[in-house]
Amino acid sequence: MSRLDKYDAIIIGGGHNGLTAAAYLSKAGKKVLVLERRHVLGGAAVTEEVFPGFKFSVCSYVVSLLKANVIRELMLPRFGLEILPLESTFTPLDNDYLFRTSDYDQTYKEIYRHSKKDAENYTRFGPLMGQVGMAVRPILETIAPNAIRPSINDLLSLKSLLGHVKGLNNETFEYLCKLMTMSSADFLDEWFEFEPLKATMSASGIIGTFMGPRSPGSAYVMLHHYMGDIDGSFRAWGFQRGGTGELSMTIARSAKHFGAEILTEASVDKVIVKNGEAVGVALENGNEYKSDIVISGLDPKLTFLKMIDESDLPEDFVRDIKNFRIRGSSGKVNLALDGLPNFTSLPGDGPHLRGAISISPSYDHLERAYDDAKYGNFSKEPYMDIILPSVLDPTMAPPGKHVMSCFVQYAPYNINGGWDDNKREAFGDAVVNTLSRFAPNIKDLILHRQVLTPMDLEKTFGLTEGNIFHGELTLQQLFSFRPAVKWADYTTPIKNYYQCGSGTHPGGGVTGSPGEMAAKKILKIW
């Protein structure tokens, strides 16, 4: 392909959202070019063979939020989408455990063992959250209106949203309001009494978030994680065969099928702006590409403060983007193992190794982990969400060996004294030590270890401050405020420059939603 080619659209960043937007636009007949900085596609949804024979879903490790209509419209199953169910959560405790599965009776029996009332309430909780999730879906699927100067369309969609809210039954509305404002701990305290159950459930309210379970606002993040695909079974987490990167590849294949061109190792330096209009991009290697429109799949900080000169942007917008909170708080430790971990409380192989393993014995455990990070240290005893991909998909590791993915809260980006190799290793040790409290054989099993700090996430994946969601999911950074007021509908103050990353509504996770909604919006006004 020659540099003289002019594209209809150039997409900066081959993350799954950029690829999704590319697929939709090419499907609509546009000539699209995707430019990815790294040698692999997928961004934070990527699989890499980090150690020979061991494949890691380096960052994002489970899939549930991927929208069903994206799967259908982009024909992803045809291009390799195969999501294996991950249907249990195992919380090891010091002398006991909690093991929840998708089976109603089994889970009832298990929770009953710990708390009779909780077992009963648990049977109501899931379906009710399903109702709330259903209530939120239309909000997530509405292009965020301009809160300052709403257009006619904005008013219409606001009106229909209001109508939708008014149509909810009292109970759903009440829970919705509470989930928007409370801490996940307070919310769960209204339902349950058994700490490990509450702590494990609340943990989805702190994932990727600089908050503890007792911090108000964490209930919303919990809801965000509950909004898994409702077409299928609710909050059904799954694992893409071949790792999360394979999921990005299916989207890339779909995009290519519809005619998109994708270039890797093509790092964009700047968006070329002429007379307040985006006309193309310049790569770091000096190449330039021209196009009618440019779409950024990067986070808001990079999209605006790096790709564009401040002088080309309105002053208050620059202030908003600078004030956009994007603190990273998570790390990732990927282990190559010689065998399976053996949990003291539930020894041996078993179904509990096929699902998520949550190191969340109590609220206090999580809060203490948070306190460490609040004051600028990594958690000495972190919260972890763990899966063993090789148990589900043996191709992830050599025969008899395993890979283990540990998502770790908290590791602050701004650690006291800054991150260095020693601290990274110390962080990795903290993770392994915490793990060995529950599975003592882990230390002997480790063949290789990959430790990713927020600093590494920034350096390798271009996630500013290592924030996994391209910006915190706090109330003031959602919907019409994501990433900045007036520009929450995928447009930007620069003409023909658009955004489609997780920093836009409805936010982070492997959802495909920002990419899809941005593409649909662009096609509508094109």
Ligand X SMILES: Cc1cc2nc3c(=O)[nH]c(=O)nc-3n(C[C@H](O)[C@H](O)[C@H](O)COP(=O)(O)OP(=O)(O)OC[C@H]3O[C@@H](n4cnc5c(N)ncnc54)[C@H](O)[C@@H]3O)c2cc1C
Residue 173 binds another protein, judged by CB under 8 A: yes
Minimum Å gap between C-beta 344 and another protein is: 21
Binding at 390: pick from another protein, ligand X, none (beta carbon under 5-8 Å per type): none
Residue 461 binds ligand X, judged by CB under 6 A: yes
Binding at 59: pick from another protein, ligand X, none (beta carbon under 5-8 Å per type): ligand X
Site string for ligand X, 92-131 (x = CB under 6 A): ----------------------------------------
Angle at 149 between CA 224 and CA 20, to 5 degrees: 40
Residue 176 binds ligand X, judged by CB under 6 A: no
Residue 36 binds ligand X, judged by CB under 6 A: yes
What residue spans of 168-216 are helical by DSSP H? 170-181, 184-189, 195-203
Buried b vs exposed e over 409-432: b needs ≥16 C-beta within 10 Å? bbbbbebeeebeeebbeebbebbb
Residue 300 binds ligand X, judged by CB under 6 A: no
What residue spans of 233-345 are helical by DSSP H? 244-257, 300, 315-323
Q: How many residues bind ligand X (CB under 6 A)?
A: 39
Residue 23 binds ligand X, judged by CB under 6 A: no
Binding at 103: pick from ligand X, another protein, none (beta carbon under 5-8 Å per type): another protein
Contact yes or no for 379/430 (Cβ under 8 A): yes
Site string for another protein, 351-390 (x = CB under 8 A): -------------x--x---x--xx---------------
Contact yes or no for 310/418 (Cβ under 8 A): no
Residue 9 binds ligand X, judged by CB under 6 A: no
Contact yes or no for 138/159 (Cβ under 8 A): no
What residue spans of 51-169 are helical by DSSP H? 68-73, 104-114, 116-140, 152-167
Contact yes or no for 372/489 (Cβ under 8 A): no
Residue 325 binds another protein, judged by CB under 8 A: yes
Residue ranges in 131-150 that form contacts with another protein under rule CB under 8 A: 131, 147-149
Residue 21 binds ligand X, judged by CB under 6 A: no
Which residues share a beta bridge with 49? 55
- What is the phi/psi pair of residue 407, to 5°? -90, 130
Q: Rule CB under 6 A: which residues touch ligand X?
A: 12-18, 35-38, 43-45, 59-62, 65, 267-268, 297-298, 302, 330, 332, 407, 457, 461-463, 468-470, 501-502, 508-510
Q: Rule CB under 8 A: which residues touch another protein?
A: 103-106, 108-109, 116-117, 119-121, 123-124, 127-128, 131, 147-149, 165-166, 168-170, 173-174, 177-178, 181-183, 186, 190, 211, 214-217, 316, 323, 325, 364, 367, 371, 374-375, 474-476, 481, 485
